[in-house]
């Protein structure tokens, strides 16, 4: 069962952050959660010309306060925080841990190529280190939260198609549980997918020679399908109209993103391993690449300290 009591939206006042705030408002209103909105001001002592940190914080606090109407303040349990930090990503992760936040919502600018190498991504750092699930949004092709005509009515959640990608690891198992419950809560269709290597197009030598073994390819796809069928239960198929789809690609992130675009997925749910610095440098992260390029919002989860799924038995005890 979904039990959301504390949501954090991190903002840098960009269009992507405005979209994230729309999601945070809608989710907080739907689940009766308190809404924490955090902006991290750069440490003025690291600038070439130091500024007055107090004046800067006061100005940003006023700007952030202007984002909320009297109706927002009457409806939401609102906490607006502006902090000074050398690293915005660390500030977000630290605040979430200190306040026992159950969901972080933030925008991502979707940088790629050289720009991504130079600037990195606050969102990807938060995905890798957060102590709770993270919902990343930008100006996507598809959204599942849309503003209503009347501002006082907030925004509407219309989640129709949920895609969860699995590599059958423990984080992926956790992601599947979240995807199931979100689909069940909002009446969405669930699709579970696994990406197997495409040995038919992997270059194995020089002079354009391509290794081709159709029997091996079929065996890989059949094995992947058996594993998927083992994790997609009967209730998934009958109640959530679940599909178990094997994709074939040498780039799992690309395959997931392309499938989401082709089938108009509203939300991708993925597990992330939260690798350390060296392992991350060597192997990267499929989840982070999906976050960067997805045509829809992405929810990333691992084994968090704080989460918003509760077994029904624990919820019943808490209410007793």
Per-residue pLDDT tens digits for 111-165: 444 333 333 478 888 988 898 999 999 766 677 887 654 544 557 888 999 999 9
Is residue 1 one of the residues assigned to a domain? Answer: no
Predicted local confidence at residue 272, as pLDDT = 86
- Contact yes or no for 131/311 (Cβ under 8 A): no
Which residues constitute the domain of residue 153?
Answer: 6-319
For residue 206, the 8-state DSSP code is S
Token pair for 187: 């009446």
Predicted local confidence at residue 315, as pLDDT = 42
Is residue 84 one of the residues assigned to a domain? Answer: yes
* End-to-end alpha carbon distance in the chain: 16
- Contact yes or no for 271/171 (Cβ under 8 A): yes
Predicted local confidence at residue 318, as pLDDT = 40
Is residue 88 one of the residues assigned to a domain? Answer: yes
Q: 64: how many CB neighbours lie within 10 A of its CB? A: 18
Neighbour-count burial for 286-303, b at 16+ CB within 10 Å, e otherwise? bbbbbbbbbbbbbbbbbe
Is residue 24 one of the residues assigned to a domain? Answer: yes
Q: Could you give the CA distance from residue 135 to residue 199 in angstroms, rounded to a whole number? A: 33
Q: Could you give the CA distance from residue 212 to residue 285 in angstroms, rounded to a whole number? A: 28
Q: How many domains does the chain have?
A: 1
Predicted local confidence at residue 261, as pLDDT = 94
Residue whose entry in the numeric block shows the structure tokens 């997609």: 232
Is residue 178 one of the residues assigned to a domain? Answer: yes
- Contact yes or no for 138/20 (Cβ under 8 A): no
Q: 251: how many CB neighbours lie within 10 A of its CB? A: 13
Q: Could you give the CA distance from residue 205 to residue 224 in angstroms, rounded to a whole number? A: 27
Is residue 221 one of the residues assigned to a domain? Answer: yes
Pairing assessment for the beta strands 134-137 and 298-301 based on DSSP bridges: antiparallel
Single out the residue of 116, 144, 188 nearest to residue 296, CA to CA: 144
Predicted local confidence at residue 148, as pLDDT = 58
CATH number at residue 180: 3.40.50.12370
Q: What is the pLDDT along the chain (320 residues), one digit of tens a residue?
A: 899 999 999 998 888 888 899 999 999 999 999 999 999 887 655 555 555 667 778 888 888 888 887 877 888 899 999 988 888 899 999 999 999 999 999 988 754 443 333 334 788 889 888 989 999 997 666 778 876 545 445 578 889 999 999 999 888 999 999 999 999 999 999 999 999 988 876 555 444 555 667 888 899 999 999 999 999 999 999 999 999 999 999 899 999 999 999 999 999 999 987 555 444 443 347 888 899 899 999 999 977 677 888 776 444 434 33
Is residue 241 one of the residues assigned to a domain? Answer: yes
Is residue 270 one of the residues assigned to a domain? Answer: yes
What is the distance of C-alpha 233 from the center of its chain? 24
* DSSP string for residues in 242-308: -EEEEEE-S-HHHHHHHHHHHTT-SEEEEE-----HHHHHHH--HHHHHHHH-SS-EEEE-S-SS-S
């Amino acid at each position: 069962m979904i039990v959301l009591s504390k949501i954090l939206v991190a903002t840098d006042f960009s269009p992507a952050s405005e979209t994230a705030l729309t999601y945070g408002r809608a989710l907080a209103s739907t689940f009766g959660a308190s809404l924490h909105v955090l902006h991290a001001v750069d440490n003025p002592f690291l600038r070439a010309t130091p500024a007055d940190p107090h004046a800067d914080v006061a100005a940003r606090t006023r700007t952030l306060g202007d984002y909320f109407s009297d109706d927002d303040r009457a409806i939401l349990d609102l906490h607006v925080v502006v902090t000074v930090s050398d690293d915005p990503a660390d500030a977000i992760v630290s605040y979430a841990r200190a306040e026992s936040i159950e969901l972080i919502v933030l925008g991502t600018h979707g940088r790629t190529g050289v720009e991504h190498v130079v600037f990195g991504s606050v969102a990807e750092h938060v995905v890798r280190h957060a102590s709770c699930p993270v919902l990343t949004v930008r100006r996507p092709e598809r959204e599942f939260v849309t503003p209503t005509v009347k501002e006082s009515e907030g925004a509407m959640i219309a989640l129709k198609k949920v895609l969860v990608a699995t590599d059958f690891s423990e984080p992926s198992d956790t992601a599947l549980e979240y995807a199931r419950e979100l689909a069940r809560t909002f009446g969405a269709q669930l699709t579970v997918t696994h990406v197997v290597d495409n040995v038919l197009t992997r270059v194995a030598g020089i002079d354009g020679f391509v290794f081709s073994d159709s029997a091996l390819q079929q065996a890989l796809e059949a094995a992947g399908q058996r594993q998927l069928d083992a994790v997609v239960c009967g209730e998934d198929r009958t109640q959530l109209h679940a599909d178990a789809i094997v994709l074939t690609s040498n780039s799992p992130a690309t395959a997931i993103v392309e499938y989401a675009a082709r089938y108009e997925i509203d939300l991708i749910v993925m597990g992330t391993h939260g690798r350390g610095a060296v392992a991350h440098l060597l192997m990267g992260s499929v989840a982070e690449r999906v976050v960067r390029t997805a045509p829809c919002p992405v929810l990333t989860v691992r084994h968090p300290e704080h989460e918003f799924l509760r077994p029904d038995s624990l919820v019943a005890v808490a209410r007793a």
